[in-house]
A and B are shown apart, each in its own frame.
Chain A
């Protein structure tokens, strides 16, 4: 069966450190992969996308890698700040414009 798994535990880190989130998938062949941020009680907000032929993508303090052999994406937040505290969702995008989301990883950055 198809499955998308993100870090099973919430992530608590000290301000200034790097947070690393994982997204593993099975039985999917996504066209590309996206990462979203969701704050409590609000809709997700798009952060980054990475295509199947790209190894790495960066945007400011965010970095995403995509390994289609391992069927895994890593999402890094460098120099983390308390304002980065949120839930981060990975989404696999299929060719018919459908998205499949993981359950998300909740990140808490301590000052």
Chain B
């Protein structure tokens, strides 16, 4: 089955530590995204990548870093510079079709990060 996997499902981190969230897709999708979701709020874009070895900051990139070395993988590192990292993190991807923007985003199951 094709899809997006995120691991781990739950993650606990001590304050001051960096942590990396995994996102892998086998959908052969071109663009990948990281969002953060807080209770009662919508999804906020952290970073996105349209092609391998290229990525752009979203609306709340401070305290986060990403890499896109392979088409199927887009890991997110939450650094100690992120002041309030406890949240639900969602990874998503899109299959680009030429210039079409009419494509749905496929989401992973999410990782819930808690800072102790």
A interface list, Cβ under 8 A from B: 4, 31-32, 34, 36, 41-46, 49, 51, 89, 91, 93-95, 97-104
Given the contacts A43-B107, A46-B106, A97-B48, A89 and B42 also touching, CB distance less than 8 Å: yes
DSSP majority for the B interface?
strand
Closest chain A residue, CB of each to CB of B58: A98
Q: Could you tell me how many residues of chain B have their Cβ less than 8 Å away from some Cβ of chain A?
A: 28
Task: Select which of B4, B50, B88, B105 is within 8 A of A99 by beta carbon.
Answer: B105
Once the chains bind, are B104 and A99 in contact (CB under 8 Å)?
A: no
Once the chains bind, are A51 and B41 in contact (CB under 8 Å)?
A: no
Q: Which of B60-68, B70-78, B79-87, B94-102 contacts A (4 or more CB under 8 A)?
A: B94-102
State A110–B108 Cα separation when bound (angstroms): 29
State A95–B107 Cα separation when bound (angstroms): 20
Q: Which B residues touch A93, using CB under 8 A?
A: 101
Once the chains bind, are B96 and A43 in contact (CB under 8 Å)?
A: no
State A95–B82 Cα separation when bound (angstroms): 29
The reply to whether the CB of B2 lies closer than 8 angstroms to some CB of chain A is no
Once the chains bind, are A31 and B90 in contact (CB under 8 Å)?
A: no
Once the chains bind, are B104 and A43 in contact (CB under 8 Å)?
A: no
State A99–B101 Cα separation when bound (angstroms): 10
